[in-house]
Structure 1
Amino acid sequence: MTPTELLIEEFSRIQGSVRATLKNATVATLTYRAGADDNTIAWLIWHLSRLQDDHIADLAGTEQVYTGQGWEKRFDLPFGPERIGYGFTSAEVAAVRSDAHLLGGYYDAVHTATLAYLTALIAADLDGVVDASWTPAVTVGVRLASVLSDDLQHAGQAAFVRGQADRADV
C-alpha cells in the first residue's frame, strides 16, 4: 500500500462514519444537545467538513468547496464563510441547523475534492513544508495527519451523539 492509498483509505473511513451517522436522521436528531452547551451532530459534521475543506484547499492551492460550489449559500449561516468552527460559542453551534441531505452532500463534495488532491500526491510531496513557523516545521504529511485526527475524533463524537439522541427518542 502506498502512502497515498493509505490516506485515501483513512479519509474514506471518515466519509463512511459521516454517512452512517446521518442515515435517516431528522433535523431534531441532528440538532439534539445532551447538555445545554454540548455540540450537535449538525455542528460536528459541518465543522469536520469545513476543517477538511479549508485545509485540503490550502494544500491544493484551490478554492474551498464551501465557497466555490455555493455551499455557504445553501447553509445560509449567520456567520461568514471564512469561519470553520474554531472557537464557536454555544449560540453559534446552535445556529448550524441543517438536514442530513445538505450535511451529507457538502461532506461528499469535500471528500471528492480531497480524493482529487490525494491522487495527485507522490510520497515525496508529504515532506514539503507548509508552515515553517512551527518547530518542527509543519509538512504536508503532518497537516494531513492533523486533519485525519481531528475529523476522526469529530466523526466519532457525532456518532456518539447520534446514539444519545436515538436513546432519547429524538
Structure 2
Amino acid sequence: MSLGEVLKDALDRNERYMIPAVEGLSRDQLMLRPAPESNPIGWLMWHLSRVQDYAVSTLSSEETEWVKGEWYKHFNMAPDPGYRGNGDSNEQVDAFSAPSAQILIDYYKAVRQNTDKFLNSLNESELDRMVPPVRGTDLVPLRERLPGIMVESIHHGGQVSYARGALLGRGWLDA
C-alpha cells in the first residue's frame, strides 16, 4: 500500500462517521451549538472542508475548489481562497449561515476528489519537497504538512460526530 493509499484510507474511515452525522440535518440543526462557545456542526463541516481544500491547493499549486467550483456562492461568502475560519470569534461563527446538509457534503466530496488526486500523485521522493508552511514564511518539507491535513480532518470529523450525538441523541449511526 502506497503512502497516498494509507492517507486516503484514514480519510475514508473518518468519513464513515462524519458524513452520516451530517446527512439529513435541517439548517437549524446544523447551526445548533452543543454549548454556548462550541462550534455548530454546519460550521465545523464547512471549516474542515475549507482547511483541507486550502492545504491541498497550496501543496499542489492548484486553485482551491472553493473558488474553482464557485462553492462560496452556496455559502453566501466571499471567494477568498485563504479564509477558512481559523480563529473565528463566537460572533463570526454566529454570523455563519449553513447551507443545506447536502451542500456541505457535496462541497466536502469535491474537496476530497482533489485531495485524492493529490495523494495519488505522491511518491517517497516528494516528501522532501519544500512547501509553504501553515504559519510563518520558512518553507518546510512536505512530510511535515501531510499529517496536519489528516489531524485537522479527523479532529473536526470527530467533533461533528460527537455534536450530532450530543444534540440529537443516539441511534443516528448503524454500527
TM-score, scaled to structure 1 = 0.88
Match of 2:27 in 1: 27
State the superposition RMSD in angstroms. 2.2
Match of 1:98 in 2: 99
Task: Report percent identity of matched pairs.
Answer: 28
How far apart are residue 96 of structure 1 and its match? 3.5
* Amino acid across the alignment from 2:168: D
* Amino acid across the alignment from 1:17: Y
How far apart are residue 32 of structure 1 and its match? 0.8
2:148 and 2:108 map into 1 onto residues whose CA distance is 18
Q: Is the 2:53–2:66 contact (alpha carbons within 8 Å) kept by the matching residues of 1?
A: yes
How far apart are residue 147 of structure 1 and its match? 1.2
Structure 1 segment 64-79 matched on structure 2, within 5 A: 64-77=64-77
1:121 and 1:80 map into 2 onto residues whose CA distance is 27
Match of 1:110 in 2: 111
1:43 aligns with 2:46: no
How far apart are residue 45 of structure 1 and its match? 0.7
2:80 and 2:91 map into 1 onto residues whose CA distance is 15
* Amino acid across the alignment from 2:156: H
- Which structure 1 segments of 5+ residues have no match? none
Counterpart among 134, 147, 150 of residue 149 in structure 2: 147
1:138 aligns with 2:140: yes
How far apart are residue 25 of structure 1 and its match? 1.5
